[in-house]
Amino acid sequence: MEAIGRRAPRKLTVKRMVTVWWQFKPWPYMFPFILSGLIATVNYMNLWLKSLGKYTVQEINTLPTIGYAMGMVAAFLLAIVNDALHWRVPCLLITLFFYVLGNLLLGIWNINFHAKFFAYLVPRMGQPLGSFLLVWQTELFQEDAEMRGLLPGLGNAILFAMAAWVPLLIYAKGAAFPYRILGHYGIRNRCCAGYCFRTLLP
């Protein structure tokens, strides 16, 4: 570990746990990680397609999967750029751009069919965000093996715990579809994540 510039793990005590989470550095990483996975616009695309009344059940279930293909292509290309050029922050901001673009268009809502179809799918191109954050935190916290191990685990735990109830608060049952707040919430979500990245820069 020390040969490659990383401090070896230390004994994890209660005092050490308190010290890890009392610092400022873990939280600008944790918030974007949680926010990035808390809401996905493509998850609601099938409701929009159903509301149009012109698609079969098979099409309603299949068309949103185009976003996954877009995400795979984006992840492959951005990963090459991220590793080859070490553009950690630029690649993170590019993934955020895809999220913001999709949510901005959905926030406007009164746009043509093709733009709205694109708006539901393009956020999937931001899916590499989580992986890029893991890479970046490994480099940022090279001096702290315990923090490198705890951050992803605790981040996922908080993310999935919040994902169980936050959507129920955001989307009122009586409002039904379309959820106009979807785009506006997503924009604020991603802008907050971008600001957190800025705080981690040297």
Has residue 16 been placed in a domain? Answer: no
What is the band of 174 on the pLDDT scale with cuts at 50, 70, 90? low
Percent of the chain's residues with pLDDT above 90: 17
3-class DSSP string for the chain: CHHHCCCCCCCCCHHHHHHHHHCCCHHHHHHHHHHHHHCCHHHHHHHHHHHHCCCCHHHHHHHHHHHHHHHHHHHHHHHHHHHHHCCHHHHHHHHHHHHHHHHHHHHHCCCCHHHHHHHHHHHHHHCCHHHHHHHHHHHHCCCCHHHHHHHHHHHHHHHHHHHCCHHHHHCCCCCCCCCCHHHHHHHHHHHHHHHHHHHHCC
Q: Please answer whether residues 122 and 1 qualify as being in contact, where contact means their C-beta atoms are separated by less than 8 angstroms.
A: no
Number of domains within the chain: 1
Residue 65 lies in a domain: yes
Please state, in angstroms and rounded to a whole number, the distance separating the CA atoms of residues 59 and 150.
Answer: 41
Asked whether the beta carbons of 166 and 38 are under 8 A apart, the reply is: yes
Is 26 among the domain residues?
no
30 within domain boundaries: no
Say if residue 123's pLDDT is above 80.
yes
Under the banding of pLDDT at 50, 70 and 90, the label for residue 199 is: very low
The pLDDT, as a whole number, for residue 56 is 94
17-48: pLDDT as tens digits: 787 778 777 777 777 777 777 666 667 788 88
Whether residue 148 lies inside any domain: the answer is: yes
In a domain, 67, yes or no: yes
Cα 195 to its chain centre, rounded Å, is: 14
Mean pLDDT in residue range 2-15: 69
The model's pLDDT over 66-110, given as tens digits with 9 standing for 90+, comes to: 999 999 999 999 999 988 888 888 888 888 888 888 878 887 778
Residue 21 tokens, joined: 């989470």
Tell whether 92 is covered by a domain.
yes
Q: How far is residue 139's CA from residue 25's CA, in Å, rounded to a whole number?
A: 13
Domain range spanning residue 130?
40-200
For residue 32, being part of any structural domain is answered with: no
For residues 164 and 127, what is the distance between their CA atoms, to the nearest angstrom?
A: 20
